[in-house]
Amino acid sequence: MVLKQPHVHNAAVIAMRLVDIADTIDLTAAESLWARHARTAAARGRLLSAPPKAMTFGVPPVELTLEPLSIDILGQPVQVAATARLYEFGVVALALQVPADDLPWVDFVARMNAVDATLGLASGTRIWDEQVAHLADALRPALVRPSVAPLHEDYLLALVQAMDGVEGTSMLHEEVDLVPLLSGESRRLSEQARKDLLRQRFSYYTDDLVVLTWDRAFIYEPRNDSDVVDILEVANAQLLELRYYDELLDAELPRMYDLVEATRNVANPFAARRYADLARHLYTLVAEVTEITEKVDNALQVTEDVYLARVYASALELFRVPHVSKAVDRKLAIIRDSYAALYEEASSKRGELLELAIIALIVVEIVIAVIRHV
């Protein structure tokens, strides 16, 4: 089959960077601070096409409109729209929308790859860092325990509303070569690699199409009312936050083992206090992580919209969110077991101390009785 090279109209390339900027964000305070800083009102995020009862944000994020940027793409300065979303569990999702109107398909693919080269890990860190620093300065009072070395996730989307010569999407992935756009590769991939790359395809109507990969997505939506962009943002935010707590617990477990060993090696009749203090520390850690991970899990609530639910579930699976979530749960279970063991140990030590006190009292009474009879 001869692949077509249509013209792309009303299109854009959206570069996302999600950053874990704090433990949590006070969204109400952030709205007020932003209104004073930027003199523009912040808005609470909402899904465009999905009915509120079908799919909704657990806690709607705060949407901020940032100053437009001028970025060199393929040697030409391009005006780029910039936005940010603040999630209650401490993530800021930055999005830079690069226009890509009236381009041949080959040039559209080249623009997608150029955006990746410009805003990706290799050379785009400065641009993103400046945006994060600007937001952190403006919103600092609303950031609860700001991150010292924040983690981040990147994602790239091609959003197209119209293509010449393509009437429906049932054959789009066969008539138009999506592989170079989704893979970023200029060399031809093997048939197996091509099949794997195009495996996650979704359509609701005959004229729309979504194709997901690990770090890129293609969205063809002629009505421009798709919530898929928002869904992919939420899935990436969940991955980022669970990664943060997975790494936090990775660092905490060896420290916990060392503290437990040090506490057990203390030959002190009052060691029960040490056990109790360590148990309280572990309990606080488990409570904090559990509370945040529940907020992450409930970031988007899906009930009736089957199509968006399928896209969302596939994105979570593709990004390995359930895998990271299970790893966090396993580590929390280890800490809970350690807490229970320490609590039992503390109770045992208190019992031993009480027994020693009773024995001491008995000895004192005996000594007093002997002295009286002498």
Higher pLDDT, 55 or 119: 119
Higher pLDDT, 161 or 354: 161
Query: What is the 3 state secondary structure string of 208-226?
Result: CEEEECCCEEEEECCCCCC
**What is the rounded distance in angstroms from the CA atom of residue 202 to the CA atom of residue 267?**
64
For the chain, how many residues are written? Answer: 374
User: What angle do helix axes 271-297 and 228-264 make, rounded to 10 degrees?
Assistant: 170
The pLDDT, as a whole number, for residue 235 is 92
Q: Could you report the per-residue pLDDT of 309-353, keeping only the tens digit for each?
A: 899 999 999 999 889 888 888 888 887 777 666 666 656 665 666
% pLDDT > 70, the chain: 78
Question: Which residues 6+ apart lie within 8 Å of 109 measured at CB?
Answer: 180, 181
Q: Assign residue 257 a region: left if phi > 0, alpha if psi is -120 to 50, beta otherwise?
A: alpha
pLDDT band of 301, cuts 50, 70, 90: confident
**Nearest CA to 231 among 6, 36, 16, 23?**
16
What's the Cα-to-Cα distance from 156 to each of 15, 238, 255, rounded to whole Å? 5, 17, 38
The pLDDT, as a whole number, for residue 259 is 63
First to last CA, the chain: 115
The most distant pair of C-alpha atoms in the chain lies apart, rounded to whole Å, by: 116
DSSP state of 141: G
Mean pLDDT of 355-361: 77
Mean pLDDT of 201-211: 88
**What is the rounded distance in angstroms from the CA atom of residue 313 to the CA atom of residue 317?**
6
What single letter denotes the amino acid at residue 321?
A: V
Pairing of the two strands 216-220 and 152-163 = parallel
Question: Which residues 6+ apart lie within 8 Å of 174 measured at CB?
Answer: 1
Higher pLDDT, 87 or 273: 87
- Alpha helices for the chain (secondary structure H): 27-38, 105-119, 125-139, 172-175, 179-183, 191-197, 228-264, 271-297, 306-318, 321-373
Q: Assign residue 165 a region: left if phi > 0, alpha if psi is -120 to 50, beta otherwise?
A: left
Tokens 């437009």, residue located: 68
The pLDDT, as a whole number, for residue 222 is 86
What single letter denotes the amino acid at residue 157?
A: L
Tokens of 345: 């140990």
**What is the rounded distance in angstroms from the CA atom of residue 175 to the CA atom of residue 332?**
49
Domain ranges of the chain: 7-226, 234-373
Question: Which residues 6+ apart lie within 8 Å of 233 measured at CB?
Answer: 16, 18, 85, 93, 95, 155
Residues forming beta bridges with residue 93, ordered by sequence position: 18, 85
The pLDDT, as a whole number, for residue 126 is 86
Question: Which residues 6+ apart lie within 8 Å of 165 measured at CB?
Answer: 4, 6, 7
Point out the least confidently predicted range of 9-23, 101-115, 354-368: 354-368
The whole model's pTM is what? 0.83
Question: Which residues 6+ apart lie within 8 Å of 230 measured at CB?
Answer: 45, 47, 48
